Structure 1
């Protein structure tokens, strides 16, 4: 049954377990996590080298074409018979080394303070080191097998050639990021009425979803860790439902981008949705489930997001803005062809990473359970350096063309009508 009214209360800024607000006990746990992490990076400690359970291995073409048995269990958590393609995937599932984890960790970090990344996993697993480490390593392995690098390295046109109708998803405006709430949390809008599962290959939607997640990371300003997701269910019907997308969405925020979902707004859910919600809700992690808020109309939505941050069209806000896809401009990724400068900047980046490692190792053995000013200064250098590196390792995306993500800054503009 649908909630009678929205119960959302604007949150205060949470500081517990966050950078700059750690207790000595939390700092000691953070140091222990780094000890274990370096033991794995250095090859001193064995770890589970198999791919995470959600790995979709690249089976042989003839096997991939084989009929798939029906899954038992809405999110694939029930038992099912092994298919030929799954068996082939298991055979080619990669094994990972400590160096693989090290390289992927620094690619994951990008412009963020490395501690911020680690702390998300510690908080997600209630500061239980073993559980947090397992979750973290699975997330790193997942990033490798999902080939997330290509989603930032390939242009829109290249992604469209590899995944048919990729650009079509953006042209339609099925999902995009626009604006931020008063806490600086970027807002991701999903227009479910525009999605029909049979209109494009399932892999295209899968890749587009992950692409949007990775773009979103560039739009989180320094000092902010969460995003808001708005599922707009206006005119939603059963033909708009896509269990594969729902499963991926849940997996991402539960396991691979923990402590990232601030609020998930389900807006204008019709009667038909509540039958589906009864199936979805029990499968959600309690922490993720607690982030869901239901708004019946625009007035309730504006209790979550101020009217001056919402478009006039469709949401009754004050922002005179309409979504439009801006295609790539000729030569916008020319920097990526400048291999000499790229290699120079990458060498500079790796030198900073090594300095951070050295200072962190010294911090660990110091016996002081307080923050390290040297580490924090290096984290700022890493952030600034990533800004210089970005044009040489990342293809320009829609949000850069909009002028939102420029030179490491996030600049949302609103055309507020009186």
Structure 2
């Protein structure tokens, strides 16, 4: 028997549950966003100040690395005063608009914007700054390659990338009854020196992007399980912790539903005193600590946890399934790809036109026309996906297929 207590799904400020006042705020946000996309309004065209950076391929990205540290300006940024002229703009409104549509994927565009608006408590100035930083971050982080390249190609570029998947260091498995996908992080398998820092950095972002693919329609958040069984100081990686915090606070806001810290040993609590002050209070409030499997069963249904290690009822064991030689053949069909991209851009323009008409009168009323186009965008992305994204582990498992998400559980009595 499961001791799971199902939470009540939040509706406040969510798509389909907006008050007229909240809808007006959303309309006003779109007005400001189009002014930036159209080049009518100036904005900060530099990389986000909190961006850590890694070795980059472009001169612009290299400049961003010198200027920024994880939680503010680094010492390397101070000498930049001597430059006589301001640097050339790094990002344009048109460039950010293209990134926005890539970010949207199968989601209703309003859903994406509302995450940032809620994260900044409906302060549109703060929400816009946060949103633009997230778009710029996606460019500098080269997130396109994480969805376009195959596992083998990523492994060639980032040594030991596939090794992270083979050992099951971090993966997505199952969802709770609210359809929130569960991301498991096995900290005992991680040793900082075992792989290049860039590899674990890219693998973490890869998992975040895969998480988008296993979010079914209507679900907005995920459950993260930090399994601290057998955790020791040699498993600690501050770079990963900082990236995790940054992602859920700044770049994937309103995406973390619950963060379960499972079986934390005594040594962890000293580290927690250092981690907790780094967390936004809203993010910190989503942390739950479970001392044993019985307590974990109150957070996640026992029927959806593996028998092994978690004393669940699901007879399942993690296994990495490598890709096949022809699984990404559609990416090479340039004619069909261009046809589908043209169709996609047509729908994007159609949604833009409907939105521009909608925001001419800030009246707090919803637009059913826009909702209908958003449904078309979702269906079209299902057909476009194999031509613009490489197949991933979750598609090979049969979980994410043709726009649907289907987890199966082999429940044993």
TM-score, reference length from structure 2: 0.93
User: Matched residue of 2:350: which SS?
Assistant: helix
In structure 1, the partner of 2:266 is: 271
Aligned pair partner of 1:82 in 76, 86, 108:
76
1:56-100 deviation line (CA, Å, top 9, x unaligned): 164689xxxxxx99x9xxx9547753189999xxx9997000001
User: Matched residue of 2:185: which SS?
Assistant: strand
In structure 1, the partner of 2:218 is: 223
User: Matched residue of 1:231: which SS?
Assistant: strand
Identify if the C-alpha distance between structure 1 residues 303 and 412 changes in structure 2 by more than 3 Å, giving closer, same or farther: same
Counterparts of 1:164 and 1:379, CA distance in 2: 39
Identify if the C-alpha distance between structure 1 residues 224 and 166 changes in structure 2 by more than 3 Å, giving closer, same or farther: same
Contact 1:51 1:93 in 2 (8 A): no
Q: CA RMSD in A?
A: 2.4
TM-score, reference length from structure 1: 0.91
Counterparts of 1:34 and 1:79, CA distance in 2: 31
**Structure 2 gap segments, 5+ residues each:** 59-64
The answer on 1:260 being equivalent to 2:261 is no
Aligned pair partner of 1:413 in 405, 408, 411:
408
Aligned pair partner of 2:343 in 345, 348, 367:
348
The answer on 1:238 being equivalent to 2:233 is yes
Counterparts of 1:109 and 1:214, CA distance in 2: 12
Contact 2:54 2:198 in 1 (8 A): no
Which 4+ runs in 1 deviate beyond 6 A? 83-87, 91-94
Counterparts of 2:56 and 2:318, CA distance in 1: 38
Contact 1:180 1:309 in 2 (8 A): yes
1:154-200 deviation line (CA, Å, top 9, x unaligned): 00000000000000000000000000001000000000000000000
Q: Deviation at 1:366?
A: 3.5
Identify if the C-alpha distance between structure 1 residues 92 and 261 changes in structure 2 by more than 3 Å, giving closer, same or farther: farther
**Structure 1 gap segments, 5+ residues each:** 1-7, 62-67
In structure 2, the partner of 1:326 is: 321
Counterparts of 2:89 and 2:210, CA distance in 1: 26
Q: Deviation at 1:134?
A: 0.2
Contact 1:57 1:145 in 2 (8 A): no
User: Matched residue of 1:198: which SS?
Assistant: helix
1:21-53 deviation line (CA, Å, top 9, x unaligned): 100000000000000000001111110000112
User: Matched residue of 2:289: which SS?
Assistant: strand
Counterparts of 1:274 and 1:85, CA distance in 2: 38
Identify if the C-alpha distance between structure 1 residues 381 and 315 changes in structure 2 by more than 3 Å, giving closer, same or farther: same
The answer on 1:44 being equivalent to 2:40 is yes
The answer on 1:312 being equivalent to 2:339 is no
Contact 2:331 2:388 in 1 (8 A): yes
The answer on 1:56 being equivalent to 2:49 is no
Counterparts of 2:72 and 2:332, CA distance in 1: 47
Matches within 5 A, 1:9-408: 10-53=6-49, 54-56=51-53, 58=55, 76-77=70-71, 80-82=74-76, 95-408=90-403
In structure 1, the partner of 2:62 is: none
Counterparts of 2:88 and 2:156, CA distance in 1: 26
1:110-160 deviation line (CA, Å, top 9, x unaligned): 000000000000000000010000000000000000000000000000000
Identify if the C-alpha distance between structure 1 residues 326 and 285 changes in structure 2 by more than 3 Å, giving closer, same or farther: same
1:331-389 deviation line (CA, Å, top 9, x unaligned): 10000000000000000000000000000011111343111110000000000000000
Counterparts of 2:79 and 2:162, CA distance in 1: 28
1:217-246 deviation line (CA, Å, top 9, x unaligned): 010110010000000000000000000000
Contact 1:60 1:85 in 2 (8 A): no
Contact 2:6 2:177 in 1 (8 A): no
Contact 2:344 2:380 in 1 (8 A): yes
Q: Deviation at 1:10?
A: 3.8
